[in-house]
Amino acid sequence: MIIKEYGCACGREHKSPVKKIISGSGAIEKLPEQIKEYNFKKAFILSDENTYKVAGEKVLRLLEKNDIGFTSCTIKGETVEPDEKSVGSAIMHYDSDCDVIIGVGSGVINDIGKIVANVTKSEYIIVATAPSMDGYASSTSSMSMDGLKVSLSSKCADIIIGDTDILKNAPLQMLKSGLGDMLAKYISICEWKIAALITGEYYCDEIASLVKDALKKCTDNAEGLLSRDETAVSAVFDGLIACGTAMAYAGVSRPASGVEHYFSHVWDMRGAEFGTNVNLHGIQCAFSTYIALGIYEQIKKIVPDREKALKYAESFDLGLWNDDLRAFLGRSAEAMIAQEIKEGKYNKAKHKKRIDIIINNWDEILKIIDEELPDIEYITELFKETDLPTDYVAAGVDKNILKMTFKATKDIRDKYVLSRLCWDLGIIEEIEI
């Protein structure tokens, strides 16, 4: 499958750097012919200890069998973190004679591989080992830098290979993680539309439809995921690729990432700083999606109060809030605090303009919520069917930090999300989680 490029009714030209997507049973066998088709001379194979066993050895044998030169790096450690140390290890093992990097893995290996490919100006192939996240077709890498979870510009994969014989045998938690990452798109699309209404941010119906169509295929086939049904696994993998493509088309992460992703980022940052429990990204996103749906239900019941909102913004003490962030997140809070100097999200004049827009368009905001978000009863049943967490115990999250996590999500990026809306309305302290 080849990703198309086209002009859109939104007025933009949509393009994806991905040249080919090869998926299905036995797809990994096609790797050598792709290397030869693009005249690559020598490959740099990047994996970790787990993915080497799952598919790395197979890749090396295929290259040897087809007389394709290579060097390899298997990053050591039971758990590989997406940070400066891992990137440094990969770079130090890189052979400058290589002209293509082949990542063998999923989230972390793919993110590292894309950075190394970007730095070395190499072409990049990813051999996916799990349908666990939506970064395969994106041009960014989710990394920890100086303790802060950041999205770095990197190299998008030129070729994506997803062998369903490998993907369906991924650890069950990773299969569920992929579905969880897909279910998060309910929130991301809803928030994208709301943000466009309130801030004038760019929005494209066609890109949103691409994501929603992929999401529907996942939910239609979700019942087969736990039994490793190939159709269900393919639906999740193809959906994750579609979401990566949507982000490439939009030029931002908006189509696939909203407040639910920021919950996950906050927990990741706390894990790095304090050693607290961290689950797989997609599992955290699933639980955060469930939380966000509950908060949107609360939003639907309120009547915006302009004076209340203005009074809350006027009384907001940024210095005290920054102290709270430091206590909650440690060192990574400093980067978020520095961001606010540029963003000015708490600027009172800007807030006044936003609250007027919100109140004047409240009926439309409620309409978006009703149209884009599923019934909580439906999602509860779907989560039960696929063994995704609907409570903090199953998610492995401390109940006592849920409220502060939500409040911190508004400071992760300069992106208008649910927590920003609640702050603007002056109700963020009243939200129940």
Q: Which helix (H) or strand (E) holds 100?
A: strand 100-105
97 bridge partner residues: none
**Strands of 305-361, DSSP E:** none
pTM: 0.91
Quickly tell me which residue has 């189509």 as its tokens.
Answer: 255
Give the model's pLDDT for residue 134. Answer: 86
Contact 288, 433 (CB under 8 A): no
Q: What is the pLDDT of residues 83-122, one digit of tens each?
A: 898 888 999 999 999 999 999 999 899 999 999 999 999 9
pLDDT for res 144: 77
| 67-84: pLDDT as tens digits | 999 999 999 877 888 889
Of 262, 175, 190, which Cα lies nearest the Cα of 226? 175
Q: Would you give per-residue pLDDT tens digits along the chain (433 residues)?
A: 556 678 999 999 998 889 999 999 999 999 999 999 999 999 999 999 999 999 999 999 999 999 999 999 999 877 888 889 888 899 999 999 999 999 999 989 999 999 999 999 999 999 999 999 888 998 888 787 876 677 788 999 999 999 999 999 999 999 999 999 999 999 999 999 999 999 999 999 999 999 999 999 999 999 999 999 999 999 999 999 999 999 989 988 999 999 999 999 999 999 989 999 999 999 999 999 999 999 999 999 999 999 999 999 999 999 999 999 999 999 989 989 999 999 999 999 999 999 999 999 999 999 999 999 999 999 999 999 999 999 999 999 999 999 999 999 999 988 999 999 999 999 999 999 9
**DSSP assignment string, 17-82:** ---EEEEETTGGGGHHHHHHHTT--EEEEEEEHHHIIIIIHHHHHHHHHTT-EEEEEEE-SSS--S
Largest CA distance in the chain: 73
Locate tokens 């911190």: which residue?
408
DSSP characters over 246-279: HHHHHTSSGGG-SHHHHHHHHHHHHHHHH-----
Q: So what's the pLDDT on residue 148?
A: 67
140-145 and 148-153 strand pairing: antiparallel
| 3-class secondary structure, 400 | helix
Question: Residue 318 and residue 305: Cα distance in Å, rounded?
Answer: 22
- Predicted pLDDT of residue 11: 93
> Rounded to an integer, what distance in angstroms lies between the CA atom of residue 177 and that of residue 396?
14
Looking at residue 3, what is its pLDDT? Answer: 62
Which strands, in side-by-side order, build the sheet including 159-163?
A: 20-24, 159-163, 123-128, 100-105, 42-48, 69-75
Report CA-CA distances (Å) from 421 to 177, 298, 320, 349, 406: 27, 12, 20, 16, 12
pLDDT at 139: 83
